Structure 1
């Protein structure tokens, strides 16, 4: 009897996730990530996180969701597609596809709130928390553990059906559910992402040196960009998609259907001269709901000037 109830609850949660527009939903038993612990420790010890000091914080919580949510029993992992139907002007500075539309944090957080409300309405008194890059949760590890894909050589979560252009989010709840199993790795002998990385940030299969990544330089790094990187950014102004663009599995990517993630007209049509001439007021007005605000106007200008010097 108990197992049939758990099966039903798991099914309706996954159905609701699909209704809310999530690409897929997988569930894992909440607990300590034993395999991830030494990997994370080595990565930090080798300073692969650069100036991202926040990665050093809450080490135990990153590996154990029961320390984030009292009585946590299940991690519900969700994917939301962001692959655009139209790409930006090729004669422009490049912006990572995930930043074409509105800031994904807000878009996904609302969907997660709806899903949690549904669970509480349909199942009863369930406590939980929603996570979208907002707390020390190893998103990709949980998504892989719940069978949503495998972590590829470029350290992104990859699926055979849709590639890797999607956001990952979680609900951690104090509810027992049916648990999914991990899938197998399908990178094979392919090294396309390693070969194509402009800054050689993929230092070994499955190991990315975050401190060498263009996304890190253009978004996370607040200091001046290192001179030794001049000429290596390939016109990437905010983020970088190279290791995903060359991944063979992304030939199966399909455009998303979330209106809030639709590309802003400016991102699609802006040329280099438009970006060169952008003012602080225009930036604040046009990109007020955009992920570009994370780099701030000053950061975007710094990146553009760096590219112009190359």
Structure 2
């Protein structure tokens, strides 16, 4: 076993020990094929008000500009598929499944920090950083290069064993590690379930999303009023949206996660439709204390619920 192969073995063993479902490895470098795609997507203003997606264009395509001396991108999959779906019988207001429990940034960042500590203890001095949806890293593309799945028509990474209800995160490190084989086959075939199901027609082409029409964007990223053209199209999603994932045939393989921090609290389960409409600052802070829903702030959540429930 070469040193690079030994490093790969240590990394994959550590990933499993920390609860990651899958771990893939790719050689760090410039994502040449992605550059023109990203440029065209931005030129079409598919990023809407997400101006930050146009920032750090070079860093977004080249991890060696994020971590000096980077040699390897380790891609990690962490399941969040819930055992029970919300809403309960008290309400029809919906949250994306990833937002049921504690904010994933905190949960996975803790694991990435521990991951690096373990690698340094077992291998030696390693320079690197962990990333979880918090920096200009093209997560899905790196996961595909690491052999963890392919990009579906809804642009999400799909995995044959687990579907798509999972978080992606990365370790970008200056360590030589034996890479995995990229997955080049598209297993979506002629299926168009996600395209057909999207009520706002946000999937404009195979793997291309008009972010400005996506319900997740409208309920989280958009700071202004939700355009009236989407009235009656939101299907009661108040934070995020799972429609394109719920209809994906590959998600029949999803299994409930084993992460206690992702479980919804009882207060969230018990919110009635009236509670949602009349939510107060006190209730918001209590129910969503450590939740990703705090991104919208109370005003944003009330805007979304009002849009869904008003005539």
Q: Same fold (TM over 0.5)?
A: yes
- TM-superposed CA distance for 1:126, in Å, is 0.5
Counterpart in the other structure of 2:216: 215
- SS of the residue 2:172 aligns to: strand
- TM-superposed CA distance for 1:278, in Å, is 1.5
Q: CA RMSD in A?
A: 0.9
Please tell me whether the aligned partners of residues 87 and 268 of structure 1 are also in contact (alpha carbons under 8 angstroms): no
CA–CA separation in structure 2 for the residues paired with 1:50 and 1:103? 24
Counterpart in the other structure of 2:197: 196
Does 2:27 match 1:29?
yes
Which runs of 4 or more aligned residues in structure 1 lie more than 3 Å from their structure 2 counterparts after TM superposition? none
Structure 2 counterparts to residues 74-113 of structure 1, below 5 A: 74-88=72-86, 89=88, 91-113=91-113
CA–CA separation in structure 1 for the residues paired with 2:193 and 2:12? 34
- SS of the residue 2:261 aligns to: helix
- TM-superposed CA distance for 1:262, in Å, is 1.1
Counterpart in the other structure of 2:273: 272
Structure 2: runs of 5 or more not aligned: none
Counterpart in the other structure of 1:159: 159
- SS of the residue 1:216 aligns to: helix
- TM-superposed CA distance for 1:8, in Å, is 1.4
- SS of the residue 1:51 aligns to: coil
Counterpart in the other structure of 1:232: 233
CA–CA separation in structure 1 for the residues paired with 2:310 and 2:92? 15
CA–CA separation in structure 2 for the residues paired with 1:264 and 1:72? 40
Give TM-score, length-normalised by structure 1.
Answer: 0.98
Structure 1: runs of 5 or more not aligned: none
Work out the number of aligned pairs and report it. 308
Counterpart in the other structure of 1:145: 145
Give TM-score, length-normalised by structure 2.
Answer: 0.97
Q: Bigger shift: 5-14 or 78-87?
A: 5-14
Counterpart in the other structure of 2:122: 122
Does 2:55 match 1:54?
no
Q: Deviations over 1:54-79 (max 9, x none)?
A: 00100000000000000000000001
- SS of the residue 1:148 aligns to: coil
- TM-superposed CA distance for 1:115, in Å, is 0.5
CA–CA separation in structure 2 for the residues paired with 1:114 and 1:201? 38
